[in-house]
Structure 1
């Protein structure tokens, strides 16, 4: 949660407050041809020229009007409109990822015993063990929880990957997008570090997961309605905590239920299967969510996410705690 807060804050500090204008290939070529440093043009002139070769969205028209508040030369406009996005956030992210890799390589030790004889209970280790995956999915108790993990993560991954596209359409610039993601990270820190940690022992994993499902479903529906302009763009600042706190409740609860449902000597492998399915959900979720947003509507990914999370909640309802001996 803390990383999700400071990362976007660094990104916000690395970008300027200059409005961003999205150009297609034809519009970009037109802007590149602007070499006249003498003749000045107005915002309406720019919009008219760009509209002649492609669509200029309302958000981009507003950005052009913010950029061209008075007659400006074409060459100056070319400099602003064709400037590459800031690269500093990418370099910072790459550096931090490299440091994390080195720390994991040098500081994290193997948790299993080093004696091969003591590790036979865990079975043969391999990078890809489809037999183990199918065995876990064929166990009724484990399969329910694993399916719930996949579905809820799939829905949340759609939300994560399409949010910046939604906010861009709603008029957010790069800096406000970074600040919004920093806000999400702050809420995630509060949700995981204070709320879930405090209430999970009191109400249990099963109820906590269902509570999270309810919050996520409500939040996704409200975000979808915001995409339909039922709510103003600023409404995201009070809607998003509902989703983030909901996922903060769902994710650790399902992981705990999965660990409890596994036999003691299978817990590591079962949790690994859960992480594998989460990774698959984070691959396919964005791919489908972005296509839905572009081909259908701004709201479709979030309405689908609400349906998926409700299905996941239904699966969780039937995922009762099983004794480890039942998984052999």
Structure 2
């Protein structure tokens, strides 16, 4: 067992190394996360159309969407814990190579089975966010960590905005081309990581702290009175949003006669609005109104957006509905994450946020399956009414959240 003095000395040494690392490793990690979300954004607007071309039912489209998130649910904790033991660099390389293979399989897909394999392999590769976050923790001093994590958040937003736009351009050359372009991005990132990304000299246990807890920890966290409402909102809001995200391309194709290119620009529009809210407004809004009020507003806006989306075939109404959804999501998600981190015990923040992330991913598994099945069997508006009811339940639950703004005042 090491003494407190030895641990303090090792921590100080780690921070000294962090200060010497410079920006290049952080930029490569930024690129990795950016390409993960770029690939996700490239695929989402074209996946339902491609699946239908391969004779998939709408319900099958839901399972196809869910398969990607299922692999992330299973492998995000695994990659994170493994990187604590064997190193960040090798795990990032393996995951990037898996992503490249998954996208290549997409490009060559001629059957639904191949499409499922493509999404599951890509999901396994893109489940490296915990490793990227742990790397940032390893190579930044404490005072610079928020800036490093901010770069990871910016990569999320930028990838989700540019992915659909690039996907729409690529789709003009055939839906298979989208997979080849995503594979090319992943391969470039793999080569750059192999050539230039160093292994941190001192690895923390950052990933294990977030995902290394057993089922008992998850269950106790979910049951904890001051945490369970925020955690439930994580799942419910993501479930409702995933109902929309999975069926939106089906809806716009069937009811609005959108082309693949138009759907790609539609998702770009959603991404831009989310990034504008999360990047430019959320900090000031939180300081002024507090997390509880913002969570309620975000859920209410999302519910209105879900009601309006299938209401008419008027494109202006659709644009307004998607704006409500994007702004609502952009407000609710970071506000609830902030709420959860502040309600968590100081020595368990990482683990509790890991539970929240797992519940959110679970919503991305259940939501597409329920939404696509409802679209096929109950009608095109059914997923949106299911999502609206879910958002209304979450909104009612948000009344039980503590008002952190009053505590600060």
Q: 1:245 aligns with which of 324, 327, 333?
A: 327
Q: Residue 174 in 1 paired to residue 277 in 2?
A: no
Aligned-residue offset at 1:15? 2.6
Aligned equivalents of 2:305, 2:227: Cα separation in 1? 28
Please give the TM-score of this superposition, normalised by the length of structure 1: 0.68
Residues 1:264 and 2:341 are matched in the alignment? no
Q: How far apart are 1:98 and its partner, in Å?
A: 5.6
Give a deviation string over 1:81-102, Cα, whole Å, max 9, x none: xxxx421211222344566678
Does residue 147 (structure 1) correspond to residue 229 (structure 2)? The answer is no
Q: Which has the larger radius of gyration?
A: 1
For the 8 Å contact 1:137–1:143, the answer to whether it is kept is: yes
Deviation at 1:123?
Answer: 9.0
**Corresponding residue to 1:185 among 271, 280, 294:** 271
Partner of 1:89: 178
Deviation at 1:314, TM superposition (A): 1.4
What are the superposed Cα offsets for residues 247-300 of structure 1, whole Å, 9 maximum, x if unpaired? 010001111111011100100000000000001100110111011011111111
Q: Match of 1:172, SS? A: coil
Deviates most, 262-271 or 194-203: 194-203
SS of structure 1 residue aligned to 2:175: coil
Show the counterpart of 1:64.
none
CA distance in 2: counterparts of 1:241 and 1:169, whole angstroms: 21
TM-superposed CA distance for 1:142, in Å, is 0.8
CA distance in 2 between partners of 1:193 and 1:254 (Å): 16
SS state of the match for residue 268, structure 1?
Answer: helix
Given that 1:136 and 1:270 are in contact with CA atoms closer than 8 Å, whether structure 2 keeps it comes out as: yes
Q: Cα deviation per residue 1:90-147 (whole Å; 9 max; x = unaligned)? A: 1222344566678889468699747xxxx9xx99886562111001011011111101
Partner of residue 294, structure 1 = 376
The Cα offsets for residues 59-90 of structure 1, whole Å up to 9 and x where unpaired, read as xxxxxxxxxxxxxxxxxxxxxxxxxx421211
Q: Structure 1: which 5+ residue stretches go unaligned?
A: 18-84, 323-328
Q: CA deviation at 1:209?
A: 0.6
Q: For residues 158 and 103 of structure 1, do their structure 2 counterparts lie closer, same or farther at Cα, with a shift above 3 Å needed?
A: farther
1:215 corresponds, among 283, 298, 301, to: 301
User: What pairs with 1:225-236 in structure 2 (closer than 5 Å)?
Assistant: 225-226=311-312, 231-236=313-318
Equivalent position of 1:159 in the other structure: 244
Q: Distance in 1 between matches of 2:248 and 2:289?
A: 31
Q: Distance in 2 between matches of 1:164 and 1:202?
A: 37
Distance change >3 Å, CA 297–CA 154, structure 1 → 2: same
Cα distance in 2 between the residues matched to 1:14 and 1:143: 43
Sort the Cα spacing of 1:123 and 1:168 in 2 relative to 1 into closer, same or farther, 3 A. closer
Give the 5 Å matches for 1:1-328: 1-16=157-172, 85-97=174-186, 106=197, 113=204, 127=212, 129-170=214-255, 171-226=257-312, 231-320=313-402
The answer to whether the Cα contact below 8 Å between 2:209 and 2:351 also exists between their aligned partners in 1 is no
The answer as to whether partners of 1:293 and 1:299 remain within 8 angstroms in 2 is yes
- Tell me the equivalent position of 1:36: none
Between the aligned partners of 1:188 and 1:94, the Cα distance in structure 2 is 26
Unaligned runs of 5+ in 2: 1-156, 405-409
How many angstroms apart in 2 are the aligned matches of 1:187 and 1:92?
25
Higher helix share: 2
Q: RMSD of aligned C-alpha atoms?
A: 2.8
Question: Which is further off, 165-174 or 126-135?
Answer: 126-135
Which residue is equivalent to 2:21?
A: none
Matched pairs, number:
245
